Structure 1
Amino acid sequence: MSEQDFELYERIQAADKQALETLYERYEKLLFSFALRMTGRRDLSEEIVQDVFMKIWTKPNLYDRSKGKFSSWLLTVTRNASIDSMRRKNEQTEALDERDSLKSNEPAVEDLVQWKEEGTVLRHAIAQLAEEQREMIELFYFKGLSQRAIAEERNIPLGTVKGRIRLALKHLKGHLSTGKGGVDGEVRGID
């Protein structure tokens, strides 16, 4: 699938509208649901998806194949567009980048989602977590709250929030690496 995505991307660079349409059909639902989880707004999520595909169409050579999988790059672009859109709309003034403070040990949300393009494996794995861990993952990765905002909202210490997120990610890694999640024992993005 990744090779097909790259071929479509190259055709888009040559102004092939059919390739853009094919890529849109392949990823529109995933990107929309991802943006919706981040913003909580359907109208804003639709705008974000349109902006992402307009960027692909109008700005050549954004994707660098040597830096990773196309679907991961596409989710990163969508994530960044969602954050930018929320900032522009003044819907969230917290430092949204705080979540990136977990860089070396925990995956970015796009790495979590890439395990299966439609997210079924991930949703199943998240459903296996304890309620407090599942809540931290939802708030941190999908609602876009900073660790500090979660601590304040739930009235728990910041260290507890960080610990629950790390523990949840450890459990996700264990669940997915055993093959229970259907990824053939390979876990990407969690070391």
Structure 2
Amino acid sequence: MTIDEKLMTGIRNREKQALSDLYDRYHRIIWNIARQSETDCSVCEQLVTHVFRAVWAKPQDFIQNRKLLMLLIDCCRSRSAATIKKN
């Protein structure tokens, strides 16, 4: 079992430490993805927060045959695109 699989199992079991560990593992990458489309740091923070809230709310959406990181990036980019359309 990979680290990501262990973390997602923990999140499915509602273990807050697993979410914290996932955040520590990927938040910088997600931040950098957000910065590619947003210059406002507060918007980037909101995007990062959205991604990890989405993981906590619906972990099943992040357990697929694709790498977890790619799913996190997709979540960030889709939310970013929706934010840009609003403005």
Alignment of 1:39-54 (within 5 A): 39-54=38-53
What are the ranges of 5 or more consecutive residues in structure 2 without an aligned counterpart?
none
So what's the TM-score if we normalise by structure 1?
A: 0.43
Residue by residue, what CA displacement relative to the aligned partner does 1:105-141 show, whole Å, maximum 9, x if unpaired?
Answer: xxxxxxxxxxxxxxxxxxxxxxxxxxxxxxxxxxxxx
Distance 1:60 1:69 in 2: 14
Distance 1:40 1:22 in 2: 27
What are the ranges of 5 or more consecutive residues in structure 1 without an aligned counterpart?
91-191
Could you say what the CA RMSD is over the residues aligned between the two structures, in angstroms?
1.5
Kindly state the Cα deviation for residue 70 of structure 1 after the two structures are TM-superposed: 1.0
Kindly state the Cα deviation for residue 60 of structure 1 after the two structures are TM-superposed: 3.5
Kindly state the Cα deviation for residue 4 of structure 1 after the two structures are TM-superposed: 0.6
Task: Decide whether the 8 Å contact of 2:8 with 2:63 is kept in 1.
Answer: no
Task: Decide whether the 8 Å contact of 1:48 with 1:78 is kept in 2.
Answer: yes
Give the number of aligned pairs.
87
So what's the TM-score if we normalise by structure 2?
A: 0.90
Q: Counting helix residues as a fraction of each chain, which structure ranks higher?
A: 2
Distance 1:76 1:60 in 2: 14
Distance 1:61 1:27 in 2: 18
3-state SS of the aligned residue for 1:65? coil
Kindly state the Cα deviation for residue 65 of structure 1 after the two structures are TM-superposed: 2.6
Q: Which has the larger radius of gyration?
A: 1
